Structure 1
Amino acid sequence: MRITLMQIEAFYWTARLGGVHAASRHLHLTQPAVSARIKEMESLLSVKLFDRSKQRMSLTADGHTALRHAEQVLNNSTQLEQFAAQQKKHRRLRLGADECSAMVGLTAVISDIKAHFPEITLEISIDVGAVLNRKLNDHELDIALLTNPATREDVTDVFLGWMTFQWVAARHLDVAPGPFLAQQARQYSIVTHSAPSTLYSVVDRWLMESGSVSHAFHSSNSLAFIAKMVAAGHAIGILPVPLIRDLLAVDLLKTLPCDPPIPPAKFCLSYLTERPDMQLDTLVSIIRATLVKQNFLVD
């Protein structure tokens, strides 16, 4: 048999605290359990660690030597536990995504990440790009999927592809045929993301550059709810193409081809450069390949 850490702890705390009673309270054990572990350790070492001839237990010469070794063992054990805790922390991946990528491609991305890195624990944040951008810059996220990042020097942005947009309306809404123009947009209520957000900027910029006067928008922080508002005929809006494919397929929405076309937005994977332990090259490749399979982006 070998000496166990539990035996060493029983011996160490009995020596340090001056008796079995104090050690048992510190270790949350019964006094007989502490005494038994010390006797087991003495038997394995073939030495007496304590002089029990007096009322108060005192260390023998061998006990003093053993105490120094026990202290080293317990210090090493503490350092090993701290190392394990740090490694566990490093296996945590704080992943942020905008709502479009979350609704369309994120579950597939998670499946592929877990297949390659089964030890990773994911903490997922879904929000608009402006919030994800701030969280990355404040080191509250390790990696984020978002449009048009504006990150700091310690964040690396990897371009994945272009996010495309379309004006959409309810299938039953009466809209004049031909290219959809900014002048026509004034005839309808418009719903978009709350500012600041990429989607709000896309709508606002298209109207302004098309010569339309400022327009008051309905707003929501949920893309899913915006799509429902449009499908119900309460408003029209600009939505990401990947998000509306299923709604177009079941005839809940129709696209409004517009003039001028809506410029696409850069869709990026942004990550903290200080995380070399994350095998980021592999993660970037996995995420890019998965989003391509989902037809999420345009090259």
Structure 2
Amino acid sequence: MNRIALYHLETLLWIARLGTFAAAAERLNTTQPTISARVRELEAQIGYPLFRREGRRMLLTVRGRQLVRDTEPLWAALERTLAADNLAGARGVVRIGTGEIAAASCLPGFVAEIERDMPAVTLDITISLTAQLLQDLLGATSDLVFLAGPAASPGLQTASIGGVALQWLASPATAAAMRNGATPPLWSLPRQSPLHQVMLETLSGEALPAIRTCNNARMLIDIIAAGQGMALLPETMTREAVAGGRLQEVWPRPKRGIEFQAAIRAEESDPLVLELFRRAAGLRIDPR
């Protein structure tokens, strides 16, 4: 009987999922030469090649695809069995991507909960815009993301975590100037941001001034509070500034806010990622 170790199968499946030996090495916390050695060992045991190189990516051969198809459900069942009794003892690095609004609202509590319940799990958090979050998730460089939706893709499994209202805000001085007929500069997050799209929908048919952009929501809020213009901003991130008088509403709120989702890849089978997604699905972006 061929002697195939569990780490051989784990290595095969992660290369198949991520597409490169380097990505599999990072996921498995080992080196690329070690991954290559495991593949050679597995190919020697089964007697046929599993991958062929296409540029930087390693593509499965026909027989390699069949082995992955046969092995994947067995591996998923094994992972579920090993993890079922004690997720509190789970270990590993989970890569989380998030937008700024989620990072400023529901994410801190989520992180605290995971650190309390799973102290051996390390969360690697990256803040980015929605378009990049989707790219990272589908490209398997993130495991779980919190993004502005709705995001519809057959490659995703999503759960709604609620939405946020938006407000047209300016500093008190800018608001006073607007009442006297002034037209201040218009600021926004970049064009690929859902907030930017809602802004354009709200102003459809209006003659727009040049739109200035900033890819950092907190900096954008500071720019507006400093009297440099007006912007459509998320209520969850501006409540304190409005309550303290640094910002004022200057136009009626748009009817549509921004909905948010937690998302993982549709084919995700790692029990730890699935558990974090289950918990993320119970969050609310604005619990108030």
TM-score, normalised by the number of residues in structure 2? 0.63
Aligned to 2:261: 268
CA contact (8 A) 2:188 2:212 kept: yes
Distance 1:274 1:120 in 2: 22
Aligned to 1:163: 164
SS for the counterpart of 1:256 is strand
The amino acid that maps onto 1:201 is Q
Aligned to 1:56: none
CA contact (8 A) 1:109 1:291 kept: no
SS for the counterpart of 1:187 is coil
Distance 2:147 2:128 in 1: 9
Distance 2:6 2:282 in 1: 43
Pairs aligned (count): 211
Distance 1:82 1:279 in 2: 18
The amino acid that maps onto 2:105 is V
The amino acid that maps onto 2:257 is P
Deviations 1:51-83 (A, max 9, x none): xxxxxxxxxxxxxxxxxxxxx9xx97987x989
The question of 1:153 aligning with 2:190 is answered no
Deviations 1:176-210 (A, max 9, x none): 67xxxxxx8x82211111121112111111111xx
Cα separation, partners in 2 of 1:106 and 1:190, compared to 1, 3 Å:
same
Aligned to 2:271: 278
Deviations 1:63-109 (A, max 9, x none): xxxxxxxxx9xx97987x989x9776983211011011112332221
Distance 1:116 1:290 in 2: 16
Deviations 1:26-67 (A, max 9, x none): xxxxxxxxxxxxxxxxxxxxxxxxxxxxxxxxxxxxxxxxxx
Cα separation, partners in 2 of 1:275 and 1:118, compared to 1, 3 Å:
farther
CA contact (8 A) 1:92 1:121 kept: yes
Distance 1:145 1:271 in 2: 9
The amino acid that maps onto 1:217 is I
Aligned to 2:139: 138
Residue 117 of structure 1 and its aligned partner are, at CA, apart by 2.4
Cα separation, partners in 2 of 1:78 and 1:291, compared to 1, 3 Å:
closer
CA contact (8 A) 2:159 2:281 kept: no
Residue 278 of structure 1 and its aligned partner are, at CA, apart by 3.3
Q: Which has the larger radius of gyration?
A: 1
Distance 1:176 1:221 in 2: 25
Aligned to 2:202: 206
One of 178, 186, 189 as aligned partner of 1:190: 186
Map 1:222-237 to 2 at 5 A.
222-237=216-231
The question of 1:241 aligning with 2:235 is answered yes
One of 246, 252, 257 as aligned partner of 1:258: 252
Cα separation, partners in 2 of 1:172 and 1:263, compared to 1, 3 Å:
same
CA contact (8 A) 2:167 2:232 kept: yes
Map 1:79-90 to 2 at 5 A.
none
CA contact (8 A) 1:194 1:221 kept: yes
CA contact (8 A) 2:161 2:283 kept: no
Aligned to 2:46: none
Deviations 1:144-165 (A, max 9, x none): 1111243532211111112221
Cα separation, partners in 2 of 1:149 and 1:93, compared to 1, 3 Å:
farther
TM-score, normalised by the number of residues in structure 1? 0.61
Residue 225 of structure 1 and its aligned partner are, at CA, apart by 0.9
- The alignment's C-alpha RMSD in Å is 3.2
Map 1:64-143 to 2 at 5 A.
91-143=92-144
Unaligned runs of 5+ in 1: 1-71, 178-183
Cα separation, partners in 2 of 1:241 and 1:285, compared to 1, 3 Å:
farther
CA contact (8 A) 2:149 2:260 kept: yes
SS for the counterpart of 2:101 is helix
